[in-house]
Amino acid sequence: MEQLTLALAKGRTAESTIELLNKAGIDFPDFHEKSRKLVFSNPENTLKLIFVKAVDVCTYVETGAADVGVVGKDNILEAGADIYELLDLKLGKCKFSVAGLQDTPPLEEAKKLVVASKYPRVAENYFQQRGIPITTIKLNGSVELAPLIGMSDVIVDIVETGNTIRENGLKVMADIDDISTRLIVNKSSFATKTESIQQVIEQLKSGLE
Amino acid sequence: MEVQIHDPQDPNIRAYQTREELIQKMKMRFSLYGYNQIRTSTFEPFELYVDATGTIHTDEMIKIIDRTGKVLVLRPDVTIPITRELAAQNFTASEHTRYFYVSDVFRNSFDDNGTKEKSQAGIECFGEKSAEIDAETIAIAIQTLKDLNVTNFKLEIGHADFFKQIAAETELNPQELEQLKKYIQAKNITEIAPFLEKHNVKPEVAEAANAIPLLYGNPKTVINKAQKFALNDTMKEALRNLSEVYEVVEAYGLEKHVVLDFGLINHMDYYSDIIFQGFIDNVAKPVLMGGRYDHLSEQFDASIPAIGFAFDVEALIEGTTKESYEEPTSVDITVIYEKTRQQEALYIAGELREQGLRIIAIPAKNVVKANSRSIIQLTENKQVLLAGNETKEFNGIDDLKDIL
């Protein structure tokens, strides 16, 4: 069978994903947490694992540089890539939410909003569907700061426990979407390497049970 | 001045020749099935696409304003103008015609790199509607890929009615349908079920919508599995149609190259029945797309059944350059002459070109290296033909022609 390339998001969910792969019978013996290596192979050489930045996983898979990928729904929504999203790996569960200051009026009353986010596309889609015109400000971190210093009215961000939001004196105003880690697949690979890909999916499904 | 007379490795020449060779092979295959080449105009009226629903989004088109203020677009598609043309010519469903084209199409967003131009090579068969012609169209696509020495490829076949009927059985608004379409195209069954539940879609419809993304693979098996999700007569008819087409594909002996995919939805809304797309190794997107579009002509007040597909030429090149293509055709003879014998040399070169030989004539002082098969040298007092290891003297053009 042809070798598959699997792109894995570095960071938050990498370790639990590797655990899941192990449970599914896919081992990468060379892998350990502190390794700086970015490419690993399983002993059978049927899978090549590459570690890439989370925001890039969809790009690797859409362009076919990787056949399959494991990445958070947050990045999938933001990338808007033309790919298959075949499995919910149920890891790294959290939410996309809109948050604002305690005294920010409800969203339904808003005429126009300035929204700060690491995910401008997600923010735009959400408010466009509700008919609220917005201006987005793309930030790369510490998004909670934006409403506090008057840079934006609200933020769109990932909320896991809500602690960061609360500690910064903000409140969650609406939930946009549930997020978890997904298995994504390139459409061409799915057609031309069907067997190998189906096998990985079946293995992962059994690992999830 | 130093001149390299001919370099077969010239990347511009190579790129063009690779492309030409590929296009020639496609043209040959199309014409072997009775298709004849046509071309459509580069500039087209903007209204043609505004009035035709389910075709190309107006933002996608590249617009031009002419002297009178009329808005034109650069050819965004080939199928639509051909259909409009035939409708205008009162083409009736009892006539048959087969066209092929190799044309550039222009759109604003082919990809993220700002590519605005793409070459399509495709066929359109008008006036025929049968499982046989549908299967033949699929066979042509497969045969063409074989002609191009593509070894690993798959054609995914689906049916436009499957999603359309499911959509009709729900009461979702256009925005929600768009969302459902995205989920199905992404085979995202994780989110389809909760989405349909939230929007109170009838259980049997929800079940079908949930099932179709994974109805993928061996046609016979998949058609059997799909039976229980056929919600109405139109969907049952679609399954019958697919079975019939597949039987003919089997008769061509090409069944190993096709799979069914009920989750396939083309971004062009005008497809009415069978739809398909093709994937090859090492290319991340489809290299061909097509299907039956019996209702497109109705937008131009005609009724012409039709089926066609188009190859994305650049994507094919990307996937096939590793295959062996012939060396670029080189020059047959280089005529190298002393300035004093220029007139004679140019006369010889001209005569040989009349014979169909490819000739480069150049003064001796400019020559660095000649890559032709033979060389003719005209020095102060001698004229010789160098071919291989042989050197032959000749007297005048007739003598030369005899030696050649």
pLDDT digits (tens, 9 = 90+) for B361-376: 989 887 777 777 788 9
| Amino acid of residue B102 | V
Q: Which chain A residues touch B212 with a CB distance below 8 Å?
A: none
Contact assignment for A188 to B186 by CB distance below 8 Å: no
In chain A, which ranges are E strands? 4-9, 39-41, 47-52, 68-72, 84-88, 94-101, 113-117, 134-138, 154-159, 170-179, 181-185
Q: Which of B331, B360, B290, B328 is nearest to B133 (CA)?
A: B290
Task: Choose, out of B195, B285, B289, B312, the residue to mutate when testing the contact with A (most A CBs < 10 Å).
Answer: B285
Q: Which of B244, B229, B250, B29 is nearest to B122 (CA)?
A: B29
Res. B1: pLDDT tops 50: no
Contact assignment for A187 to B280 by CB distance below 8 Å: no
Q: Which one-letter DSSP state was computed for residue A144?
A: T
Contact assignment for A129 to B217 by CB distance below 8 Å: no
Contacts of A79 (CB under 8 A, 6+ apart): A55, A58, A59, A62
Query: B9 pLDDT band (50/70/90 cuts)?
Result: low
Contact assignment for A191 to B154 by CB distance below 8 Å: yes
Does A85 contact chain B (CB < 8 Å)? Answer: yes
Contact assignment for A194 to B154 by CB distance below 8 Å: yes
What confidence score (pLDDT) does residue B323 get?
47
Q: Which chain B residues touch A91 with a CB distance below 8 Å?
A: none
Per mean pLDDT, which range of B144-148, B253-257, B366-370, B382-386 is the poorest? B366-370
Dihedral, CA of residue B17, residue B22, residue B25 and residue B30, to nearest 10: -130
pTM of the entire predicted model = 0.85
Q: Which chain B residues touch A191 with a CB distance below 8 Å?
A: 154, 156, 259, 279
Find, in chain A, the residue whose alpha carbon is nearest to that of B186. Answer: A84
What confidence score (pLDDT) does residue B313 get?
95
pLDDT digits (tens, 9 = 90+) for B319-341: 886 545 555 557 888 899 999 99
Tokens of B291: 């299907």
Query: Which position has the token pair 């793309």?
Result: A138
Contacts of B255 (CB under 8 A, 6+ apart): B219, B246, B249
- Report the DSSP beta bridge partners of residue B44: B73
Do residues B162 and B343 lie in contact, with contact meaning Cβ atoms separated by under 8 Å?
A: no
Element containing residue B360 per DSSP (H, E): strand B359-363
CA geometry: angle A40, A43, A44, nearest 5 deg: 115
Tell me the nearest-neighbour CA distance from B180 into chain A, angstroms: 14
Percent of chain B with pLDDT over 70: 94
| Amino acid of residue B26 | M
Percent of chain B with pLDDT over 90: 58
* Interface predicted TM-score of the whole assembly (ipTM), two decimals: 0.86
Residue positions counted in chain B: 404
CB pairs under 8 A between A and B: 47
Of B187, B189, B284, the CB nearest to A188: B284
Q: Which chain A residues touch B281 with a CB distance below 8 Å?
A: 192
pLDDT digits (tens, 9 = 90+) for A109-144: 888 899 999 999 999 999 998 889 999 999 998 999
Res. B351: pLDDT tops 70: yes
Tell me the domains of chain A and their CATH numbers. Answer: 4-92+180-208 (3.40.190.10), 94-177 (3.40.190.10)
Contact assignment for B285 to A182 by CB distance below 8 Å: no
Q: What is the mean pLDDT of residues B391-402?
A: 86
At CB < 8 Å, which residues of chain B contact A? 152-154, 156, 175, 185-190, 217, 259, 279-286
Element containing residue A81 per DSSP (H, E): none
Q: What is the mean pLDDT of residues B69-78?
A: 93
Does A64 contact chain B (CB < 8 Å)? Answer: yes
Res. B77: pLDDT tops 60: yes
Label each residue of chain B as H, E or C. CCEECCCCCCHHHHHHHHHHHHHHHHHHHHHHCCCEECCCCCEEEHHHHHHCCCCCCHHHCCEEECCCCCEEEECCCCHHHHHHHHHHCCCCCCCCEEEEEEEEEECCCCCCCCCCEEEEEEEEEECCCCHHHHHHHHHHHHHHHHHCCCCCEEEEEEEHHHHHHHHHHCCCCHHHHHHHHHHHHCCCHHHHHHHHHHCCCCHHHHHHHHHHHHCEECHHHHHHHHHHHCCCHHHHHHHHHHHHHHHHHHHCCCHHHEEEECCCCCCCCCCCCEEEEEEECCCCCCCEEEEECCCHHHHHCCCCCEEEEEEEHHHHHHHHCCCCCCCCCCCCEEEEECHHHHHHHHHHHHHHHHCCCCEEEEEHHHEEECCCCEEEEECCCCEEEEECCEEEECCHHHHHHHHC
Do residues B154 and B261 lie in contact, with contact meaning Cβ atoms separated by under 8 Å?
A: no
The number of CA neighbours under 13 Å toward the Cβ of B318 is 18
Q: Which of B311, B272, B25, B33 is nearest to B153 (CA)?
A: B311
The number of CA neighbours under 13 Å toward the Cβ of A188 is 22
As a whole number of angstroms, the distance between CA B269 and CA B170 comes to: 18
Res. A161: pLDDT tops 60: yes
- Collapsed DSSP state (helix, strand, coil) of residue B324: coil
Find, in chain B, the residue whose alpha carbon is nearest to that of A177. Answer: B191
What confidence score (pLDDT) does residue B13 get?
80
Q: Which chain A residues touch B192 with a CB distance below 8 Å?
A: none
Tell me the domains of chain B and their CATH numbers. Answer: 12-320 (3.30.930.10), 330-403 (3.40.50.800)
What confidence score (pLDDT) does residue A8 get?
92
Query: Which position has the token pair 């190859």?
Result: B311
Mean pLDDT of chain A: 91
Does A192 contact chain B (CB < 8 Å)? Answer: yes
Q: What is the mean pLDDT of residues B13-18?
A: 83
Q: Which of B73, B54, B55 is nearest to B65 (CA)?
A: B73
Tokens of B45: 């009226």
What confidence score (pLDDT) does residue B326 get?
56
- Collapsed DSSP state (helix, strand, coil) of residue B291: strand
Does A80 contact chain B (CB < 8 Å)? Answer: no
Contacts of B14 (CB under 8 A, 6+ apart): B8, B328
Higher pLDDT, B55 or A76: A76
Res. B2: pLDDT tops 60: no
Does A63 contact chain B (CB < 8 Å)? Answer: yes
Of A63, A86, A194, the CB nearest to B284: A63
State residue B203 phi and psi, 5-degree precision.
Answer: -55, -45
Beta-carbon count within 10 A of A111 CB: 6
Res. B7: pLDDT tops 70: no
